[in-house]
Structure 1
Amino acid sequence: MPTSSFRRILSQRVACSHAFWRNSLSDRAQTSWLLHCTVSVGNRKTGSRLARTMRHHIRLVLLAAMILLVAGCGASADLAAPAPTASGANERSALTQSLTIVGGGAFPITLDPAILRDAESSFLSRQIFRGLMRLDNDLIVAPGIAAAVEARPDGLLYTFTLREDATFHDGSAIDANSIKRSFERAADPALAGGDDSALPARIYFSDIAGIDDYFAGRSNSISGIRVVDPRTVEFTLSRPAANFLYKLTGSPAAIIDVDHAVGSDWWKTANGSGPFRISEVSAQRIVLTGFDGFYAGAPQLRRITVLFGSAAAQPLNLYEAGEIDMTDVPLGALDRVLSPADPLYPELQSEPQLSTSFIVLNPAVEPFDDPMLRKAVAQAFDRTKVTRVMLEDRVRVADGLVPPGILDRQWPATPVPYDLAAAHVDLESASPHEIRPAFYGSGVSVALAEVLGRDLSLESEAIALEWSDFSNALIGRRLPAFSLSWIADYPDPANFLEALFHSRSPDNYSGYSNPEVDSLLDKAAVEQDPDRRAQLYLQAQQQIIDDGVLIPLFHDIAYTLVKPYVHGLTLTPLGIISLESVWIGEH
């Protein structure tokens, strides 16, 4: 999903969030969920990790069991931190278990998991609400509110058994009816003013049988979700989906108390289902407190303070002053912080990220409905200079949309080459237009407008909007051209290609529509062979680039400072997923 950090990356020259490739992101792990799986969790509240076995190049079979997971496993900000013990827990309880972080600058538009649109809001919402499934710190799908899931061999029926100890924050049980009602509420077109095409559920729930009838109002319930008994719920799919369980880890699938979700600001006093509850909301901060009744065990942190607006300004200064406990590093400060002689050097983490920043030229809005103009713009802009000059090689040049490492493979593409002479020829072939090209965003949009005026004699303008205005304009598909940074919700190419460029996707902010691309993406969605599936996505990616609507820029690298007394914080390819394992040591 989009992240407002793109504005900071290119206006302040920073690279932010966190990532690291792991072998767990293999083709087989991504696609073998669907044909037969049994996943269960034990009675221990220390968490769980998925163990996997696969059969390759035939109908894939997954037989998975959960094993105990010690706190702070994986790539951690505290690699030497000891595993929790009873005496250690008592020692920590005597310390102030409080974490303070910045929330990305702009106050969230909403934390309603059914309609939120950006990565920063998704992170906060995930601490308050949880779903049937979750991503663990190795980005493997694991049970959440579900205690077990069984999939029929044909991949068309999933049966979820719910945990007996899963409750909302008020102590009321989360039962199968809560699951069904939460899904139906997330798919209710009324949440988007009657426009179901604007709902994230349009793509996250697209595989569930009966969803189209529900969206269209032909049915008052989703027929593919059936309550079997209070602890059992069945999902019937209209087609096998290689990433169905991954989709259940996304925000739209988070379970909420529907009776409490009244009005647009209900989330500020939410009766949530996650490890933390909201205790305070003000103009410049949100405060979360630990929920002792969380099914996986009470979080060690008792308080999380998230700062916004002017309270979050100059986060590196706040970090050095000890006012916040972690922060991204501005590019201008990296040379200093990367020096082993700098006192902050031991606290720095740098990792590649599963994200892509890019420019979209909207083929549905003038003047970029002209393919020759789109081609001329792409050829006149040396996109590699964004990485080499603007960002000083602190990020990785992107040739395509899908980041390397997803499905444990590369995703090569052939972008439009920089060719100024050819750009002049194509511009001469473009239809006359009275509308001046406008590029929305900061940093790279400004550079692009300057380059086009200088090298192509094409007058254009760069327009910066507040994040809320920019987000609403994206959803309305009103922008002729824009720069955007997209971080994966789950590690699968569909979360980039299908989400951003399928004609039926609510996140297709350009209104791009190509039946050939739709067909390739639809075939990839049901393909069980990982190599054939990858080839379909590669074809779709190249066709999108060839259509002149996408100019890839870079894949981000995280530069993050974490205080040495913050333990159990795991940085993943998707950033920080959860905070319930974090605890504060002596300092």
Structure 2
Amino acid sequence: MFRPPSRRLPVVATAAAALVALLAGCSGAASADVVDRGPVRGGTLVYATDREPTCLDPHNSGDMPQTYVARQYLDSLVSLQADGSVVPWLATSWTISDDGTQYDFTLKEGVEFHDGTPLDAQAVVDNFTQILDPATQSSTDLLYLTGYFESAIALSEHVVRIDLSRPYSPLLAALSQAFFGIESPKAMARGLEENCESPVGTGPFEVVAWNHGRDVQLVRNDDYDSAPADAKHQGPAYLDGITWRFLKDNTTRYGALSSGEADVIFNVPPESQQLAEADPAISLQEFVHSGSPFSLDLNTTSPVFDDIRVRKAFVHASNARAAVESAYAGVFPYEGDAVSSGTPHYDETYHEPFPYDPDEANRLLDDAGWTGRDADGHRTKDGETLTVRLPYNADGAETPPADLTILQNIQAMEKEVGIEVDLEALDSASMNAVWGDPDAYDLIGNYWNSPTPHVMYIKYSKATLDVGNGQNSAFASDDELDRVLIAGTATTDPTEQAALYSEAQRILTSKAWSLPLYPIQTRLGISNRVKDVWIEPSEGEPVLSDAYFVDGGDR
């Protein structure tokens, strides 16, 4: 899953923090002595999050706000476990050919979509057809399938076969994400516009209304009987429904939790962390995503960053660790590897390949020929100033204050070695136009959440670069890296995978194609009136189908 910087958590001003404290002091939330006597049916849970999706169908585009809400109304073929294994969901069993290129899934019988359409093998085939249709504008799903997927066919009413062009061991983990949630063929046939408004799945809740700018209303699917094998219970959800509210402002969102107006919030603000930890009426759950951390990707086609010496100098000079730790007050850790610490086969050896070293940065820049200085102290070569353009989204929900602080801190550190960083604040439309345009920037913020180390192939392979959807924002690839990553997907042996993915991290970090900053996290604040909320490990999606109010939902 990709996007320009989005779910970042700002450090807001002291006055705002004081307002949070006041709201907490006036809390109408559950008291600390709530007694849990087991699951109780009833109540509508209010879940408050920062960003509103552009489309509720996660096959379209593929951004995190989509997958979080889609988990509530779509089921996937399989469910991922924390150890990387998968368990049955809509597929009760599967077989894999000896050469790893053919997967046969046997589907659970008797399952119906919310519109009454039966789940069968052809429905699954139709989902892959929709994903591959250019009209769907699928980005995330296509990048998982590019270079591997050949076809999906119905072998019988409840057996579907996926054929691959070569072995792809991450396939099951990829299919566990809500991005590959199975949708009703009848509903998909309405067209993208209508499907974006109200996608139809087999999941524990149904979409009944999307009130743009305010919330999505979900109601329980009373006929639900297709929970994954790792669910805390089988059968319909305990909740009557969910109000999925959009509260962009961190202070407002945390205030809603502490006052009892919201039952669960996405991403407790860092400045409210200590308040939340001290509040007996609130519990916290945190999950570090697998995938690529939030990074500044360096455009290797730029006349500045096409020189590896300048790229390395930029990373050495940034003092990224200090920038992150200062802006996020230790709540978000620094990560300098090309993959996050939550990624399978993460190798700590590459945690900080280019530590802060202004002397080395100066040496590299001198060696690259940037030896002159202008009146402002910026380096020059052949009459050109060493200036790099860094556009960012001026919307505070997309680039909140903490991220902007990081960018400004890096800007200041780069000036110390003579690099001028031009921070360009753009509106959302202008920012969208920047993506995929190699002439529009020199570096740009990006991340990609993925349950497998195959994320390195998704971001940096020649095959996915050729797709041309702008997600390889460094415009970089390497034949040796491709070879190692393809070998990693071809084996299921953990020892071989660990060695290959370690080598991939070595190659990737040595290229200095990005300045990694911090891993993406899912951080939930939960009222103690609510029990059995959990975070699944494929995309850090909140699971609310097992949740219940200890008091039955009475407010």
Task: Indicate the TM-score class for this superposition, using the shorter chain for normalisation.
Answer: 0.7 to 0.9
Structure 2 stretches lacking a partner, 5+ long? 14-32, 227-234, 371-380, 393-403
Q: Which amino acid aligns with 1:494?
A: H
Find the counterpart in structure 1 of residue 157 from structure 2: 230
Report the Cα offset of residue 100 of structure 1. 0.9
C-alpha root-mean-square deviation of aligned residues, in Å? 3.1
Report the Cα offset of residue 312 of structure 1. 7.6
Find the counterpart in structure 1 of residue 268 from structure 2: 329
Q: Which amino acid aligns with 1:171?
A: G
Instruction: Tell whether the 8 Å contact from 2:34 to 2:529 is kept in structure 1 after alignment.
Output: no
SS at match of 1:307: strand
Output one character per residue of 1:366-412: Cα deviation in whole Å (capped at 9) or x when no partner: 43223232122111111110343222322333231223354376442
Find the counterpart in structure 1 of residue 419 from structure 2: 458
Q: State the alpha-carbon separation in 2 of the partners of residues 132 and 512 from structure 1.
A: 33
What is the aligned counterpart of 1:199 among 130, 139, 144?
Answer: 139
Report the Cα offset of residue 471 of structure 1. 5.6
Q: State the alpha-carbon separation in 2 of the partners of residues 334 and 364 from structure 1.
A: 41
Q: State the alpha-carbon separation in 1 of the partners of residues 330 and 96 from structure 2.
A: 45
Q: Say if 2:2 is the partner of 1:2.
A: yes
Output one character per residue of 1:243-263: Cα deviation in whole Å (capped at 9) or x when no partner: 221122134432223343314
**TM-score in terms of structure 1 length:** 0.75
Q: State the alpha-carbon separation in 1 of the partners of residues 354 and 62 from structure 2.
A: 29
**TM-score in terms of structure 2 length:** 0.79
What is the aligned counterpart of 2:102 among 157, 160, 163?
Answer: 157
Q: Which amino acid aligns with 2:181?
A: A
Q: Say if 2:61 is the partner of 1:110.
A: no
SS at match of 1:493: coil
Equivalent runs, 1:20-59 vs 2, <5 Å:
none
SS at match of 1:359: strand
Q: Note closer, same or farther for the CA distance 1:140–1:150 as it changes in structure 2 (3 Å cut).
A: same
SS at match of 1:460: strand
Name the one with the larger strand percent. 2
Q: Note closer, same or farther for the CA distance 1:513–1:334 as it changes in structure 2 (3 Å cut).
A: same
Instruction: Tell whether the 8 Å contact from 1:113 to 1:122 is kept in structure 2 after alignment.
Output: yes
Q: Say if 2:532 is the partner of 1:568.
A: yes
SS at match of 1:202: helix
Instruction: Tell whether the 8 Å contact from 1:569 to 1:581 is kept in structure 2 after alignment.
Output: yes
Output one character per residue of 1:146-185: Cα deviation in whole Å (capped at 9) or x when no partner: 2221223332322212222221111110111111111011
Q: State the alpha-carbon separation in 1 of the partners of residues 286 and 102 from structure 2.
A: 41
Q: Which amino acid aligns with 1:173?
A: P
Q: Note closer, same or farther for the CA distance 1:467–1:299 as it changes in structure 2 (3 Å cut).
A: farther
Q: Note closer, same or farther for the CA distance 1:125–1:480 as it changes in structure 2 (3 Å cut).
A: farther
Instruction: Tell whether the 8 Å contact from 1:187 to 1:199 is kept in structure 2 after alignment.
Output: no
Instruction: Tell whether the 8 Å contact from 1:242 to 1:527 is kept in structure 2 after alignment.
Output: yes
Q: Note closer, same or farther for the CA distance 1:380–1:134 as it changes in structure 2 (3 Å cut).
A: same
Structure 1 stretches lacking a partner, 5+ long? 14-77, 85-91, 193-197, 211-223
Instruction: Tell whether the 8 Å contact from 1:396 to 1:555 is kept in structure 2 after alignment.
Output: yes
Q: State the alpha-carbon separation in 2 of the partners of residues 293 and 319 from structure 1.
A: 31
SS at match of 2:193: coil
Q: State the alpha-carbon separation in 2 of the partners of residues 475 and 111 from structure 1.
A: 24
SS at match of 1:417: coil
Instruction: Tell whether the 8 Å contact from 2:203 to 2:224 is kept in structure 1 after alignment.
Output: yes
Q: Note closer, same or farther for the CA distance 1:132–1:509 as it changes in structure 2 (3 Å cut).
A: same
What is the aligned counterpart of 1:141 among 65, 86, 91?
Answer: 86
Deviates further, 471-480 or 415-424: 471-480
Find the counterpart in structure 1 of residue 229 from structure 2: none
Equivalent runs, 1:78-477 vs 2, <5 Å:
84=39, 92-93=40-41, 95=42, 97-105=43-51, 107-135=52-80, 140-192=85-137, 199-206=139-146, 208=148, 210=150, 224-261=151-188, 262-283=191-212, 284-296=214-226, 297-308=235-246, 314-327=252-265, 328-339=267-278, 342-344=279-281, 347-350=283-286, 352-354=288-290, 356-407=293-344, 410-413=347-350, 414-428=352-366, 429-430=368-369, 432=381, 433=384, 436-441=387-392, 442-453=404-415, 455-465=416-426, 470=431, 473-474=434-435
Q: State the alpha-carbon separation in 2 of the partners of residues 263 and 446 from structure 1.
A: 40
Q: Note closer, same or farther for the CA distance 1:364–1:109 as it changes in structure 2 (3 Å cut).
A: farther
SS at match of 1:358: strand
Q: State the alpha-carbon separation in 2 of the partners of residues 157 and 351 from structure 1.
A: 33
SS at match of 1:338: helix
Q: State the alpha-carbon separation in 2 of the partners of residues 332 and 312 from structure 1.
A: 9
Q: Note closer, same or farther for the CA distance 1:540–1:140 as it changes in structure 2 (3 Å cut).
A: closer
Output one character per residue of 1:253-307: Cα deviation in whole Å (capped at 9) or x when no partner: 3222334331434221223232221111122211111112223222222221112
Q: Which amino acid aligns with 2:60?
A: I
Find the counterpart in structure 2 of residue 63 from structure 1: none
Q: State the alpha-carbon separation in 2 of the partners of residues 561 and 255 from structure 1.
A: 29
Count of aligned pairs between the two proteins: 488
Report the Cα offset of residue 472 of structure 1. 6.0
SS at match of 1:260: helix
Q: Which amino acid aligns with 1:460?
A: V
Q: State the alpha-carbon separation in 2 of the partners of residues 521 and 79 from structure 1.
A: 50
SS at match of 1:289: strand
Find the counterpart in structure 1 of residue 462 from structure 2: 503
Q: Note closer, same or farther for the CA distance 1:399–1:269 as it changes in structure 2 (3 Å cut).
A: closer
Instruction: Tell whether the 8 Å contact from 1:359 to 1:483 is kept in structure 2 after alignment.
Output: yes
Report the Cα offset of residue 420 of structure 1. 0.9
Q: State the alpha-carbon separation in 2 of the partners of residues 137 and 412 from structure 1.
A: 23
Find the counterpart in structure 2 of residue 71 from structure 1: none
Instruction: Tell whether the 8 Å contact from 2:49 to 2:248 is kept in structure 1 after alignment.
Output: no
Q: State the alpha-carbon separation in 2 of the partners of residues 240 and 79 from structure 1.
A: 51
Instruction: Tell whether the 8 Å contact from 1:137 to 1:577 is kept in structure 2 after alignment.
Output: no
Instruction: Tell whether the 8 Å contact from 1:364 to 1:511 is kept in structure 2 after alignment.
Output: yes
Q: Which amino acid aligns with 1:532?
A: E
Q: Note closer, same or farther for the CA distance 1:227–1:354 as it changes in structure 2 (3 Å cut).
A: closer
SS at match of 2:197: helix
Report the Cα offset of residue 485 of structure 1. 4.2
